[in-house]
Structure 1
Amino acid sequence: MKKELIINADECYRQAEQKAEHYFKLLYTQVRQKTYVSTLTVDIQMWKHNHIHHHSLFSLFSRGNRKPDSRQYHHYIQWLNYAGKLDNYLDRSISYIFMRDLSKSLDSPDTLNRIKSIVDNLKSDLTKKDKDETFSMAGLYRIAQKEGVESSLIWVINKLKTVSSNIPKGMDAEQAQRKLIKIIAGVIMQEVEEMDDNISSVGRTRRLDKAIRLGYSYGLTYPFIDDLLDAKILSNEEEKQYTDLIRTTLITGNVPELGEWNGNNVELITYIHSELRDAFEYIKEHQQQETRIGFFEQSYVFFHSQEVDRLKDLSNANYTNEELYIPIILKSSSSRLIVRSVIGAPEDKELDSRTFFYGIYNQLADDFADMFDDLKDGAVTPYTYYLKYHKTRPDLINPFELYWTVISNLIHNVYNADKKTCEVILDRAINGLKRYKERVGTNKYTEVMDIFASGDATFNKLIQHMVRKADDVDFFDKLLRDHMITILKNERKEKEEFQNTIKSLRHQINDMLNIPKIENNFLTEEQIIDAANYSLEGDGKRLRPIVAWFMGVNAYGLNSAAIEPLLKSLEYMHTASLIFDDLPSQDNASTRRGRSTLHEVYGIALAELTGLFLTQKAVEEQASLDNQFDSKTVLKLMNYSAQATANMCRGQTMDLDSKGKQLTLEQLNMMCFYKTGIGFEASLIMPAILAGENEVEMDALKKFARHAGIAFQIKDDLLDVEGDTTLLGKPIGKDAENNNSTFVSVLGIEDAKKKMWENYCIAMEVLQEVPRNLTFLKHFLDYIISRDH
């Protein structure tokens, strides 16, 4: 059965193409007549008075006023504020975003008031003395709490994690994440600007929740359509299958079944198909009837113009100027017009018109910055094509000249020569050239300018003077972009190092746990040792000794060999607690760590004795620490350990007593701390005791452990409901079967997730109180809430 068509693809593209042709002819006339030279020369001569500063002798030698590298996020913001430049910096940055992303005109009093309000709030946030890292997960969650959108943030964080893990080799995972986050932020911004000032808090929360999910749904097309096809990961046959699927979706409004996939990337495409289908259905579900057709038409124009460009071959020397530029006009404008239709914003002809004219400005700036990467990839852009054929094709438009023509046209014909608009656009243009020169170096920059800036020597001399001398042209979104990429790359590197270290440590700890048999011992003792080793050989995470190793060796500089007895004692104690926990008289578990529980294999009585045996082995290991550490210190450690063990027993007693009862949240928190938090606390505090650390630091570590332990237990409770038995190594649903009170049974799944994140945030904030670098604890926390077993 043939599916009904939602749009006439050929007709909608033809109409869009005609509009682009008209715009191109307008630009073509101006660039050939070089009208931009005289108009922009006047603009720049006026503009430069605010940007060419004559520094005093004192300022040149003043250390306090020395400008830091703009890539140093926090230092640069502090310097701007100290130098009295932060207000103007934020004002031009937010003004630019209002023009680029919201298509606003800067001659509107309402727009200017809105920009000022955002600048004031942003400045206040950036200059707080006690500010945390806003772009950390904890910082974002705190913002989400204020807006009441915690659930949607948790949802999108999990989605971003899954997307990142599915980005194939050959694509940049950090850039994919950044683009997705940028699109989500852009959609949220559009939604906020569409809200009425009198909207209720409930209405605002509902619309923000929708915007986050719509932003993700639309943003997903960038890594999994645009970037994927550009990366040439798919074979030719796969690419045809995939583009046909996308095209059919946009024309019919329905995602076709994947069917049989011919190619090696079936697993990747199966995931992408499922995720894009869900995203597409969510957008469709939230489309307004009056904007739905416009959404499909703009989406098709965007996709098809991308395809037209993607299929170009750099070896073809016969592309016309129209063939080079019209698809760029179409894709750059439609990509932004889609956002308004995604959120269901009403039609606004003035906004749409500005969006249409503005798009190519950003595209030409991006293509200039990426020209040599594009050239290496064989991509056809106006810059790569001009680089290759400008000597043999005198008819080709110089894209750098067209860039300045677009700027002149925007300032004088689209924004009616508005002074602030002129200021912001010229700031951005000069900033782009300065950043490019800094990135490629003076020699390469000069070489590029010799090719592209040869149209008018006097104008080029003026531009290059601005590039060398102009100041105060930096932008917050560029700083934010660099900062975000740095964070994502650092986090990925640190996470990989953390995981590799954990893997290595787990092997080392596994090797040291085995309890050797003593010659000529009794058969019963052999059985206990066999039973103990059986439990210790299970696929345990070894989190407690791993954390203790990190604290002892990395944080306190203790000798790794010297603290081996401590590591063994922690795992012996933890394994003993699991043996008791699994007994028929307690949780009656049949599997643990991927295999049968100890009492199922060796019997209940021997299991009980083995738990007691391991507890005493833990004490024995701790006592042996006096070979390397002061005996008073070891006694202090053993005293703490005994109290911790007693508290763990108290927690298990509370757990047993709670069966069949509905606990309060306070009771659940207390039980969780005694059962789980104490174990984490011990792995932090016992190395601190050996290192002779002060009570203030240990109190902070105890608070961290309390909240990390609660977060860990909540995640366990969630996994018992939502987890995978294969990954967990034990059956799910045991809490409900045993009628246990858990965070899920008390709060429900959604509120349990919020509670987990609240404890995660508190634990992260506590780390700020510890006067040493404990990056591994941050990754440990991230592991706690993101693990699947």
Structure 2
Amino acid sequence: MNDKFIINADECYQKAEQKAAHYFKTLNMQVMQKNYVQTLTDDIQLWKHNHIHQYSILSLFSRGKRKPDSSGYHKYISWLDYTGKLDNYLDRSMSYIFMRDLGKALNSPDTQERIRSVVDSLKIHLTNREEKEETFSMAGLYRTAQKEGVELSLIWLMNKLKTVSSNLPKEMDAEQAKRKLIKIIAGVIMQEIEEMKGDISPEERTQKLDKAIRLGYSYGLTYPFIDDLLDAKILSTEEEKLYSELIRTTLVTGAVPELTEWVGENEDLIRYIHSELRDAFEYIKDHQRQETRQHFFEQSYVFFNSQEVDRVKDLSNANYTNEELYIPIILKSASSRLIVRSVIGASEDKEFDNRTFFYGIYNQLADDFADMFDDMKDGAVTPYTYYLKYHDKRKDLINPFELYWTVISNLIHNVYDSDAKTREVILDRAINGLKRFKERVGNEKYKEVMHLFASGNPKFNRLLQDMVRKADDVDFFDKLLRDHMITTLKNERKEQEDFSNTIKTVRNQINNILNIPKTENLSFVYDPIIDAANYILEGDGKRLRPIVSWFMGVNVYGLKSSAIEPLLKSLEYMHTASLIIDDLPSQDNASTRRGRPTLHEVYNVAISELTGLYLTQKAISEQTALDQFDSKTVLKLIQYSAQVTADMCRGQAMDLDSRGKHMTLEQLNMMCFYKTGLGFEASLLMPAFLANAKDSEMEALKKFARHAGIAFQIKDDLLDVEGDPTLLGKLTGKDAENNNSTFVSILGEEAAKKEMWENYCSAMETLKDIPRTTTFLKHFLNYIINRDH
């Protein structure tokens, strides 16, 4: 695409404004005439037969399970299935999504067939015991991606989401930003699937889904990095102007301006965002078809400019006209969804465009109603906040609640031709919105709101409130999913913080006990082996093995921290000994380890070899000091430890023998298990030995350790190719220099990433077989594949 491509910004926005003004005029006329009151009264009378249930005394006893709180995601789905309500619940939910996100008319037989297909598929997923617990887990998402052949796209996306979350300022809600991104990506994928033809090949489907994931992320990135950023008041006034002008120039010219300099405190943040948005913009631009490019840029400009018009409004200004309040809302709510089709390069569909244009304000008014008190607190101008502040001073102001019901009436009868299914779904949604709002703000606050916004039509309001009190079966899956997603993301973040704090605390404790003192009766003042051992132990080690062992021992099996100190020291001594051997000139010939020169560089090869041998014996000596446990149990643990050390030596020998040779994946997995997996296995099993865990649990821990160890080694291999030496504490490229057989050299980077994730998923799935709390191990796995050192 020519970077000098230019749209006539003023002309396209004026054209959009004229269309929005005409729509608003139509709605305004209906509000003034109050046509919606009788029309919707008749609609509700028809609608309520499916939602107002009369229960007899006997039926109350025979209904079985009580309805659970819908905040309990899995329990609520199970209850719906148990009571036979799940089919209707999913049908209205998917029907709503097909209307809102896909711009479909529900009276179309093809649309109804698609909805039934989606409902059937979703029901199987939700009621499948194996799958339902994995709704938002990385393992569950990866398994889904595997079925579609888009694993690499998902890996790319997860890395992007992680980076975005870590770069968001603390003033912005990381969970909400991630949720919005996921929602936009899902919407783009749905549009792409709807555009696919029935005879599409699996390869072409995979390509289209891959593109949809990346396009969805690229478009979705505008929400946290443009809309949310400008709303968060993080940037100074001058920065906001510069940033807005940068976005405007990009959309008008079709090219992202260079960011040569930035005046303000947020330069680092803006440079990161500029880089990400530039890449996203270029990706979208490169995947536009010639015939859709103009439409994409025009819709994008309308979306951005209408948000800007709305954003600069000041709640202290008492002179905004109704047109100034509502026309930007009509434009931004419609264009945000119209863009999605142009993003994927879909062909023009005038019926879709019209329905989506008229539908947008319905969602916007519903969202603004739900958020009115938060918006009022933030000083944001919305139809509701403005009416709250000026309704008693400005008799000309349109009541937004009345406009909301006017929009509903107009949609049902003028846009969707009085279709019964459309009436059902839209009224379900509207009543559900009021019920959720009432539940959130409480009865007294709800009465105040209704007294203000619905006072002009007491009869209609009484009917509405009657429905809010009595109506059943009006909830929606997307709302349940939204609440569950936010809860899950917040819980994940809290668990991750707890995990990081635990790691930090226990690591400090372990560092404080590793130093090896010189014996008092030693006749030599200088002891090079102990000095060498302490030198290597003082390095910036991760201490993963003793940390895992501490957590399993103390938090899982309830052992005393002081009682297992010798075990923690022994694990780190064994691991450090293996690193010393690995680094020797006869082995990997490494010059740095843990951010410092390797042991043989500081001392010499002989001292290094002796220190490695010394630490393996010191590890056994520490295990004999586990004097608070049964002697037979300790002996069993020592025998196991000795076997692990022997097997790790075999693994290193296999590694040395493999250099310059082609290895199969099976051979590489075996070598990796001996070199790395056994160390993790020991850190899990040794506390289990001391706690006399059952054999079945020990086997599950072994399986977990095997896959976790392989995933860890693959990540190490990947970091040796693409890692940052500063963060790693050692030079990269050593595997290639030593002609080592690695997962990357045998499989290539992309296939190695897939293999890492395959082992991650297998390890995560094994946690189901461990009858203990496994939250720490879940985050330990996440750390393994997400670490940068």
TM class by shorter chain equals: over 0.9
In structure 1, C-alpha distance between the alignment counterparts of 2:255 and 2:276, rounded to whole Å: 14
2:219 is paired with a residue whose SS is: helix
Please state whether the residue corresponding to 1:768 is helix, strand or coil: helix
Once the two structures are superposed, residues 605-637 of structure 1 have per-residue CA deviations (whole angstroms, 9 ceiling, x without a partner) of 011111111111100110111x10000000110
**Amino acid aligned to 2:629:** F
What's the CA shift string for 1:707-758, capped at 9, x where partnerless? 0000000000000000000000000000000000000000000000000000
Query: Is the contact between residue 581 and residue 587 of structure 1 (CA under 8 Å) also seen in structure 2?
Result: yes
Give yes or no for the alignment of 1:731 onto 2:765: no
Aligned-partner residue type, residue 530 of structure 1: D
- Find out whether 1:207 has 2:196 as its counterpart: no
Contact persistence 2:256–2:278 (CA under 8 A): yes
Pairwise mapping of residues 347-362 of structure 1 onto structure 2 (< 5 A)?
Answer: 347-362=348-363
- RMSD, matched Cα: 1.0
Alpha-carbon displacement from aligned partner over 1:17-46 (angstroms, at most 9, x marks no partner): 000000000000001111000000000011
Q: Which residue of 2 aligns with 1:716?
A: 716
1:690 has 2:727 as partner = no
Q: CA deviation at 1:551?
A: 0.5
Between the aligned partners of 2:63 and 2:560, the Cα distance in structure 1 is 42
Counterpart in 2 of 1:303? Answer: 304
CA contact 1:572–1:614 (8 Å) conserved in 2: yes
**In 1, distance between residues paired with 2:306 and 2:35?**
29
Q: Which residue of 1 aligns with 2:748?
A: 748
Structure 1 distance, partners of 2:446, 2:301, is 37
Query: 1:306-705 alignment to 2 at 5 Å?
Result: 306-523=307-524, 526-625=527-626, 627-705=627-705
Determine the C-alpha separation between the residues in 2 that align with 1:8 and 1:166: 35
> What 5-or-longer segments of structure 1 have no aligned partner?
none
How far has the Cα of 1:342 moved from its partner?
A: 0.1
Q: Which residue of 2 is the match for residue 44 of structure 1?
A: 44
Determine the C-alpha separation between the residues in 1 that align with 2:735 and 2:56.
Answer: 73
Unaligned runs of 5+ in 2: none
Deviation, structure 1 residue 61: 4.3
* Contact 1:324/1:381 (8 A) holds in 2: yes
Letter in 2 for 1:276: L
Structure 1 distance, partners of 2:748, 2:317, is 61
Instruction: Encode CA deviations 1:446-482: one digit per residue, 9 max, x unaligned.
Output: 1111111112000000000111110000100000000
Pairing 1:32-111 to 2, within 5 Å after superposition: 32-61=32-61, 64-111=64-111
Which residue number in structure 2 is paired with residue 19 of structure 1?
Answer: 19
TM-score of the aligned structures, taking structure 1 as reference length: 0.99
Aligned AA (1:103): G
- State the Cα deviation string for residues 62-92 of structure 1 (Å, max 9, x = none): 6832000011000000000000000000000
Task: State the AA in 2 paired with 1:698.
Answer: M
Counterpart residue number, 1:28:
28
Shift of 1:56: 2.7
Q: Does the 8 Å contact 1:68/1:75 carry over to 2?
A: yes
| Residues in 1 aligned to 2:607 and 2:127: alpha-carbon distance in whole angstroms | 63
Deviations 1:406-450 (A, max 9, x none): 000000000000000000000000000100111111111111111
In the TM superposition, what whole-angstrom CA distance separates every residue of 1:152-194 from its partner, at most 9, and x where no partner exists?
A: 0000000000000011011110000000000000000000000
2-structure distance, mates of 1:579, 1:547? 22
Contact 1:248 1:255 in 2 (8 A): yes
Aligned-residue sequence identity (percent) comes to 79
Distance in structure 1 (CA, Å) of the matches to 2:787 and 2:580: 23
User: More displaced, 525-534 or 686-695?
Assistant: 525-534
Q: Distance in 1 between matches of 2:157 and 2:188?
A: 14
Distance 1:492 1:59, change over 3 A: farther
CA distance in 1 between partners of 2:524 and 2:115 (Å): 81
CA distance in 1, matches of 2:631, 2:15: 86
Alpha-carbon shift at residue 523 of structure 1 (Å): 3.0
1:112 corresponds to which letter in structure 2? Q
AA partner of residue 386 (structure 1): Y
Query: Structure 1 counterpart of 2:12, which letter?
Result: C
Q: CA deviation at 1:3?
A: 7.9
For 2:121, the equivalent position in structure 1 comes to 121
Q: Which residue of 2 aligns with 1:135?
A: 136
Q: Which amino acid aligns with 1:783?
A: Y
Q: Distance in 1 between matches of 2:378 and 2:581?
A: 61
Report the AA paired with residue 617 of structure 1.
K
- Count of matched residue pairs: 787
Q: Distance in 2 between matches of 1:3 and 1:336?
A: 25
Give the aligned residue type for 2:708: A
Which amino acid counterpart does residue 724 of structure 2 have in structure 1?
D
Asked if 2 retains the 8 angstrom alpha-carbon contact of 1:398 and 1:452, the reply is yes
In 1, distance between residues paired with 2:326 and 2:376? Answer: 17
Q: Distance in 2 between matches of 1:693 and 1:323?
A: 70
Deviations 1:544-584 (A, max 9, x none): 00000110011111111100000000000000000011001
SS in 1 for 2:345: coil
Q: For structure 1, which segment, 291-300 or 129-138, has the greater mean C-alpha deviation from structure 2 after superposition?
A: 129-138
1:9–1:251 Cα contact (<8 Å) kept? yes
Range that drifts further, 522-531 or 135-144: 522-531
- 1:517 positional shift: 1.1
CA distance in structure 2 between the aligned counterparts of 1:64 and 1:771, rounded to whole angstroms: 30
AA paired with 1:29? M
Distance 2:34 2:500 in 1: 58
Render the CA deviation track for 1:235-278: whole Å, top value 9, x for unaligned: 01111110000000000000000111000000000000000000
CA distance in 1, matches of 2:38, 2:390: 28
Residue aligning to 2:294: 293
In structure 1, what is the Cα distance between the partners aligned to 2:622 and 2:170? 46
Are the equivalent residues in 2 in contact too, given 1:428–1:473 (CA < 8 A)? yes
Q: Distance in 2 between matches of 1:57 and 1:538?
A: 73
Query: SS of 1:463's equivalent?
Result: helix
Q: Label 1:63 to 1:46 Cα distance change in 2 as closer, same or farther (>3 A).
A: closer
Decide whether the 8 Å contact of 2:3 with 2:254 is kept in 1: no
Counterpart CA distance in 2 for 1:440 and 1:358 is 27
Superposition pairs of residues 751-762 of structure 1, within 5 angstroms? 751-762=751-762
* CA distance, structure 1, for counterparts of residue 58 and residue 544 of structure 2: 57
> What SS class does the counterpart of residue 513 from structure 1 fall into?
coil
Q: Distance in 2 between matches of 1:730 and 1:42?
A: 75
Distance in 1 between the 2:3 and 2:86 partners?
A: 56
Q: Is the 8 A contact 2:177 2:224 kept in 1?
A: yes
After superposition, the Cα gap between the structure-2 partners of 1:166 and 1:563, relative to the gap in structure 1 and judged at 3 Å, is same
In 2, are the aligned partners of 1:365 and 1:432 still within 8 Å (CA)?
yes
SS class of match (1:523) = coil
Report the CA distance shift for 1:648/1:700 in structure 2 as closer, same or farther (over 3 A): same
Moved more, 52-61 or 604-613: 52-61
Partners of 2:130 and 2:582 lie apart in 1 by 43
Shift of 1:773: 1.1
**Amino acid paired to 1:546:** I
Give the distance between the partners of 2:552 and 2:61, measured in 1 at CA: 44
Give distance in 2, aligned partners of 1:418 and 1:134: 34
Checking the alignment, whether the CA contact within 8 Å between 2:188 and 2:216 is kept in structure 1 is yes
* Contact 1:59/1:65, CA 8 A, preserved across alignment: no
The alpha-carbon deviation at position 659 of structure 1 amounts to: 1.1
